[in-house]
Structure 1
């Protein structure tokens, strides 16, 4: 049983997906700056266990269309893509799993369309309640003006930096991610790496660079440029709970953990009352499905088996 690459018409886009296996549908949503390839070690074990596993390149990434308008990357568009993908696959529902930016898409799909979500799992980024002020205002107050999400806001700036040398960008971001402060450019927040970590190879860097030659970084960066728009669009769900069965996976050394209060894991049941489990992986950094695929797969299979 091998990976099948194909293109589907999804919510006005031509979307590239990778598929393997038969059975209940499991969608794997990647984050930034990633692609379906982030799940390369997870897809086959899930398929072998009896699931239909589909990992798309999300809107703006890799082999999927990248609309030119920034406003076309709102959270409602991204959730709409997931809903349309489930239908395009001929399915009635799915378990939706997301890492990094894919996690908020998964959490919001479960929030907005619980009728379609048998279960939801988020890696790295936890579910959060909509804040009382616009998101970028809160980000600036908590993290200062040099936080990377603020640096990403100006169209063309981070795009040019990251597109200038795709190999260098992926080598430094994935191999040397160190800090969320990007006052002198996003790559300045990373470390130069002479030797890649054990979970990342030169072939992996080549593959990511190859996939990004089509669309570059503008589409992925446009997700960040909708953060305040997302805050406005989701006002009707202020205080709403995520009701489907849920799993959260975090890395003990993930820089994203520093974005949240120390007790954020203890607070998760207040947002996700049907939280079935939390997996906290010691010494694991941000790239959880690539760094610790065996533990991630085992946790997902346990979660799936209990649904």
Structure 2
């Protein structure tokens, strides 16, 4: 939506609902971000001043549905505290639960445009850290991806391809959430994942190839070698892309994801598709199957390069194999 039309809609709403009773008003959501569909509305998020009892409301303005979402003072205080800084550590993971509760609203404030504020509202808006939100998405989605990678492997090992196939799909989606946060695309919307992949300039060149990975179907779940390869490929791609962005785009958002997806999975001994790199505020680890090995950037990069084509130093390869960080994919093709 262009800025002139947006300003007109906001001013029309302000004529109906005075902004004087709010500390902060932010416009955000899919319509603003260019991710709208036929039933999308324009969302405004407003934090009322003390004593203002105005309620959320819908307005029809120039053919656009404009929704005013009133956020209580208590909720806004919790959002500020959740996204003030990234604090998930090896001994305190409580911020994960706070993020899962406030992820949608946090996204709306992080990606939104401030259209009205008092001095207090402006100060509080600035306390919501984009980097903290980005790091929380990357870490929480990495954790959920890891759970699904484990389920996918469990399904493969027990010949239950229904479980493995579904888990691989979720793992790829969570991995792509890590990647999107890594390139600075922070809009929240579960149904919008693929649209975000296809439209973001840092990732759109990979869209068709990634999407094609989810279109493999089989009528014989118990014997389908094609489906098994698809499951392993989705897991490998999710693990590789998420781990690469956790390494390369933690400090600074990546401008482009330069990878050749055809080289992510090789033959023979290579990085396990069921392991990934996880970053906390005080540690980095190679994680998988309920095990985590503290690591550093150099070792993590060495693991990431183990694609079945590039041989690692023998001592490093032996250590990785002993810890289950490398795997021979031939076992899945037998």
Bigger radius of gyration among the two: 2
Larger relative helix fraction: 2
- After TM superposition, the score normalised by the length of structure 2 is 0.23
Name which structure has the greater RCO, CA cutoff 8 Å, separation 6+: 1
